[in-house]
Amino acid sequence: MTLKGEPVPIIATLCGIGLIAAVLWEGFETIVLPRRVTRRFRLTRLFYRNTWHAWTKMVESIVPARWQETWLSVFGPLSILLLLTIWAAGLIVGFALLHWAAGSAFLARDGSYGFLTDLYLSGTTFFTLGLGDVVPRGSWDHILVVCESGMGFAFLALVIAYLPPLNQSFGRREMSISLLDARAGSPPTAAEMLRRHSHDGGMEALRQLLYEWEQWSAEFLEGHLSYPILAYFRSQHDNESWLAALTAVLDSCAFLMAGPARPCKRQAELTFAMARHAVVDLCVIFRTPPRQPEHDRLPPETLARLRTTLARAGVIVDEGEAADQKLREMNAMYEPYLQALATYFRISIPPWISTDPLPDNWQGSFRAPGKAARKEARQLGRGGHF
């Protein structure tokens, strides 16, 4: 089994080289390459789809409903550790196969030899332990040891370089989502976003907000194209998420675009285009085809209630069959994609207008749970305009 001309070592050599090449290429595409990978088959994509499916099934079957969001939020950080562990294990096994195919030419203090000894040497070399209890004898084995130790340093450097930008991108994403709390409610809805900008100068403030969310959507798209793992990272509050924020922004833009001319209508068109672009591209990345919602989010009675609420707040609304038709056409351009992402990531999509208004997150209090929180919110003046 140790002669180079025999078939088994040749197969082991090919398997070792293939395993090392596959891990290095996956690491390059995932960490280094700053663009979307169009290749249909990817080990990293296969890993995430299978582990996420298994994780969600486990959480929904075992974990009580009130703790499910917490458990789902663990998957993102945990999956990174698991993926890095799999990559490291793949490289160690790959080099162990090459050592074994070369004849296991090592000197061990206890006299042991074989694949387990090769695996042990590969592990200590990859993590640069340098214990010295197993040393290579041949020149080929020395070359393999040097290559693997260098690869171990490079792997550690990539991990160190990968995590900071990941956390920074997550922090920037969540900062804008948190700022939306006082501007659109918790969870954010189109009704609250439009109502809270009905004061004097509100349309200009809304235009500025939509401009900021156009920029946010572009940064969100680029960040999640480069690091798709970010989509699995969930927000700090259970009633907030990147998908809920995008839904509220798209709903608000669609309502503004279907209504009469306003100073912020052009900005609504630009923000709508960028936000929809982000939603559609994420569906492509995660291979989630658009799906029609099970329930209509904007039935006639909800639309009538939305217009009544906004009209009472002083927002100019446009009624009529033409306006209804245009709004539904705009809604059909993005809602199937939102539904697909919501189903895949197990995230709830907020309604157009809340049926049971709750206090914003900033109005909450540890000493005022439940009904007391609602009373405290009313005392703080939640019904007023921001």
| Domain edge (last residue) among 134, 161, 188 | 161
Write out the H or E segment, with its range, that includes residue 322.
helix 321-332
Give this prediction's pTM: 0.82
- Exposed / middle / buried, residue 219 (Cβ in 10 Å: 0-12, 13-18, 19+): middle
Note whether 14 and 142 are same-domain residues. yes
The CA distance from 133 to 187, in Å, is: 59
Note whether 72 and 218 are same-domain residues. no
The CA distance from 184 to 59, in Å, is: 30
Contacts of 287 by beta carbon, 8 Å cutoff, 6+ apart? 45, 49
pLDDT of residue 5: 47
In a domain, 305, yes or no: yes
Judged by DSSP in three states, 63 sits in coil
Note whether 304 and 206 are same-domain residues. yes
| Domain edge (last residue) among 161, 193, 221 | 161
Q: Is 282:341 a contact under the CB 8 Å cutoff?
A: yes
Find the helix packing angle between 321-332 and 300-313, rounded to 10°: 110
In a domain, 383, yes or no: no
Residue type, 136: P
Note whether 186 and 285 are same-domain residues. yes
pLDDT of residue 11: 87
In a domain, 95, yes or no: yes
Note whether 186 and 333 are same-domain residues. yes
Note whether 227 and 292 are same-domain residues. yes
Whether the bond into 64 is cis, omega within 30 of 0:
no
| Domain edge (last residue) among 161, 193, 220 | 161
| pLDDT per residue rounded down to tens, the chain (386 residues) | 444 445 667 888 899 899 999 988 888 888 777 666 666 777 888 899 899 999 999 999 999 988 999 999 999 999 999 999 999 999 999 988 888 887 766 656 655 667 887 888 888 888 877 666 677 776 777 788 888 888 888 888 888 887 888 888 898 999 999 999 889 988 999 999 999 998 888 889 999 999 999 999 999 998 888 888 999 999 988 888 999 999 999 999 999 998 777 778 899 999 999 999 999 999 998 999 999 888 889 898 999 898 888 888 888 777 778 888 889 999 999 999 999 999 999 999 999 998 877 788 887 755 544 555 455 444 444 444 44
Number of residues in the chain: 386
In a domain, 167, yes or no: no
Note whether 134 and 34 are same-domain residues. yes
Find the helix packing angle between 321-332 and 242-258, rounded to 10°: 150
In a domain, 376, yes or no: no
Note whether 270 and 121 are same-domain residues. no
Q: Which of 287, 203, 281 is nearest to 246 (CA)?
A: 281
Residue type, 185: G
In a domain, 244, yes or no: yes
Domain around 60: 7-161
- Where residue 100 sits, what CATH number does that domain have? 1.10.287.70
How many domains, in total, are found in the chain? 2
